[in-house]
Amino acid sequence: MSHGAVEEWGASQPFLFSVGPEKKVFTVHSALVAQQSPTLAALVNYGMKESLEDYASLPQHNVETSVRFIDYAYTGDFESPMFDISIRPKEDYDGDLLSHAPSDGRSRQGLVLADYYGIDNLMQVCIDKLRELMRYNKETSVIVEAIKFCFVEHALPKLRAAMLEYCAAHLSYLIMDSEFTKLVKKDPTIMLLLTKRFMRLLECETADSTDEQWKEIQGEKKKRMRPRISPSGSQST
């Protein structure tokens, strides 16, 4: 964060959030909140009831999610044990997989909060962490839960796009999983979207391969078309 940005939010009015049914109060610099998205900027700056009172009640969000949001707002990242691969031995991922999946309340609420308030950067951080999690954990139950979350439970376009890309690249082993087949039978639209994405990946691979072959062919043609030098020193065709 630049010096100017720190000076701006450091000098700004404190803004209070009352979170969850327990009404736990958090204090955040208003300028920092406003920087996160146009929606939050309107909440704290543009004459809404909350901006006039420097106070907003958010009973729909939980405390843990709010802590992670504040962590992200000040640092550009957030800590969450479910995403920290380094502190968990590999065998842990063979047990209670769903506790590390995006269906877990903490990550689910984080993604929903990012989408609800239009915090694109936070959404991308969550997506990157999810990708990293799935890179280390290839269990299909984790992926199926992620698909359910972003295709059945919520409409999160960026997360859907990331999931489609990942699932299309790993479709060969997903279609062998009974839970995955049950899911796509129940909602064929998911399989249709995955198939379209899979075909695009194939087209890209084919195009790349064709481009390489074309370059090789053109290179061979150029070699054959180089003028030959006769013993007398003159060029011949």
Q: Give the CATH number of the domain where residue 32 resides.
A: 3.30.710.10
Residue type for position 193: L
Q: How far apart are CA 115 and CA 94, in angstroms?
A: 30
pLDDT digits (tens, 9 = 90+) for 117-127: 889 898 888 87
Q: Quick one: CA dihedral 29, 35, 36, 39, positive or negative?
A: positive
Residue type, 231: P
Residues 113 and 165 in one domain: no
pTM of the model: 0.63
CA atoms of 128 and 123, how far apart (whole Å): 9
- In the predicted model, is pLDDT for residue 91 greater than 50? no
Residue 42 lies in a domain: yes
Look at residue 77 and give its three-state secondary structure.
coil
Identify whether residues 114 and 173 lie together within a single domain: no
Structural domain boundaries enclosing 165: 137-208
pLDDT at residue number 96: 33
How far apart, in Å, are the Cα atoms of 220 and each of 184, 216, 217, 223, 225? 48, 6, 5, 5, 9
> What digits encode the pLDDT tens for the residues 51-61?
889 999 999 88
174 shares its domain with 142: yes
**Are the beta carbons of 78 and 72 closer than 8 angstroms?**
yes
- pLDDT over threshold 80, residue 144: yes
Same domain, 149 and 178: yes
pLDDT tens column, 191-201: 999 999 888 88
Instruction: Quickly state the pLDDT bin for 24 (edges 50, 70, 90).
Output: very high
- Does one domain contain both 113 and 146? no
Helix (H) or strand (E) holding 26: strand 24-29
pLDDT band at 146 (very low <50, low <70, confident <90, very high): confident
Give yes or no: residues 114 and 168 share one domain.
no
Same domain? 114 vs 179? no
Judge if 54 and 114 occupy the same domain: yes
Using alpha carbons, select from 129, 95, 91, 93 the residue that is nearest to residue 110: 129
8 Å CB contact between 33 and 13: no
Identify the pLDDT of residue 36.
Answer: 94
| Same domain for 172 and 75 | no
Is the predicted pLDDT of residue 86 greater than 50, yes or no? no
Domain co-membership, 61 together with 141:
no
Mean pLDDT of the chain: 76
